Amino acid sequence: MPFVNIKITRDGATTEQKRQLIAGVTQLLVDVMGKNPATTTVIIDEVDTDNWGMGGESVTELRKPKS
């Protein structure tokens, strides 16, 4: 019955990578907690780099080459 929300920056995660995240975190909950995988929900949010801040700056800014 667990619910997992994974937020990552929108950077071109592939369908295959998303499948691996869903499968991997579901299995982790089985292995560590004995949870039922059938009712484990995973939602992946992909967030634009303008909308994600770290250290007071957007990720868009953080990734710009510093001169």
Which residues here bind a copy of itself, judged by CB under 8 A? 1-9, 13, 15, 17-29, 31-33, 35, 37-47, 50-61
Which residue type occupies 59?
V
Least distance in angstroms from the C-beta of 67 to a copy of itself: 18
What sign does the CA torsion over 35, 38, 40, 46 have?
A: positive
Strand partners, 9: 47
Instruction: State the minimum distance, in angstroms, from the CB of residue 42 to a copy of itself.
Output: 4
- Which residue reads 């250290």 in tokens? 55
State yes or no: is 65 an active-site residue.
no
Instruction: Cite the active site residues.
Output: 2
